[in-house]
């Protein structure tokens, strides 16, 4: 479904991504773990077209994304809930969700609203409330709901548990599993490596812009380096 081939991404003269390759098959949950600054968000932004690789290729469903602008990447069926949520604080919950469906003008969105409100009942309760007045957890749900409104086949989530209380983290990951069970493939970037590896089919470890390990989630949980570096297990 997604094939990232040896991409190199620069910020000015600084090489942030140094030859990353990864693959995602339809129906999977794949996670990227790594320390701050390892290149996880940059990898997602490169896939979305927000940060163009200087070299390498990205194929989505067989199509080369090199010349596809970000808004057309969304139209192809690939959406992103970015790090830090980045909702529109002065818009209502409903307006934020409508913005997620900007590429679907003229389509009946009733079923999509029903899906989002079923996954996130609190958003239905806050439908007319402005995004900036929501709690952190509610804003994260709104960011995920907005990404779902694009009707994605592949949904990328960047640090969905950041800053959330443990009880809410568990809820967010349960919802991610449900979204996947409903047929949406997931690419997950997450600092909470333990939970991310528990729910994923496969994972990649990024360190200083390179993939240093890749395996299924259970194997990475048992990997001594991953345990020592990311799971707090000596």
Domain extent at residue 166:
26-49+69-230
Calculate what percentage of the chain has a pLDDT beyond 90: 77
The total number of structural domains that make up the chain: 1
CA–CA dist 129, 123 (Å, integer):
9
8 inside domain: no
What's the pLDDT at 163?
A: 79
With tokens 């600084």, the residue in question is 14
Q: Which helix (H) or strand (E) holds 226?
A: helix 224-230
Can you tell me the mean pLDDT for 16-44?
95
Q: What is the pLDDT of residues 136-177, one digit of tens each?
A: 889 989 999 999 999 999 999 999 888 778 888 888 899 999
State the DSSP string of 163-215.
T--HHHHHHHHHHHHHHHHTT-EEEEE-S-HHHHHHH-SEEEEEETTEEEEEE
Q: Domain holding 167: CATH number? A: 3.40.50.300
Confidence of residue 130 (pLDDT cuts 50, 70, 90): very high
4 inside domain: no
What's the pLDDT at 136?
A: 85
Strand order across the beta sheet in which 55-60 lies = 14-24, 2-11, 55-60, 63-64
């Amino acid at each position: 479904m997604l094939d990232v081939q040896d991409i190199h991404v620069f910020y000015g003269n600084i090489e942030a991504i140094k030859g990353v390759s990864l693959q995602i098959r339809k129906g999977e949950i794949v996670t990227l773990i790594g320390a701050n600054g390892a290149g996880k968000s940059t990898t997602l932004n490169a896939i979305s077209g927000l940060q163009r690789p200087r070299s390498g290729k990205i194929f989505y469903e067989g199509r080369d994304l090199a010349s596809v602008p970000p808004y057309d990447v969304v139209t192809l069926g690939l959406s992103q809930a970015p790090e830090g949520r980045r909702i529109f604080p002065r818009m209502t919950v409903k307006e934020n969700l409508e913005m997620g469906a900007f590429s679907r003008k003229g389509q009946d969105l009733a079923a999509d609203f029903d899906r989002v409100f079923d996954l996130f009942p609190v958003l239905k309760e806050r439908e007319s409330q402005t995004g900036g007045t929501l709690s952190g957890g509610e804003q994260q749900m709104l960011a995920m709901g907005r990404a779902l409104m694009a009707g994605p086949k592949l949904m990328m989530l960047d640090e969905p548990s950041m800053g959330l209380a443990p009880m809410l983290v568990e809820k967010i990951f349960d919802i991610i599993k449900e979204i996947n069970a409903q047929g949406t493939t997931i690419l997950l970037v997450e600092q909470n490596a333990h939970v991310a590896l528990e729910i994923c089919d496969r994972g990649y470890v990024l360190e200083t812009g390179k993939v240093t390990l890749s395996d299924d989630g259970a194997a990475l949980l048992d990997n001594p380096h991953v345990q020592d570096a990311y799971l707090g297990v000596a």
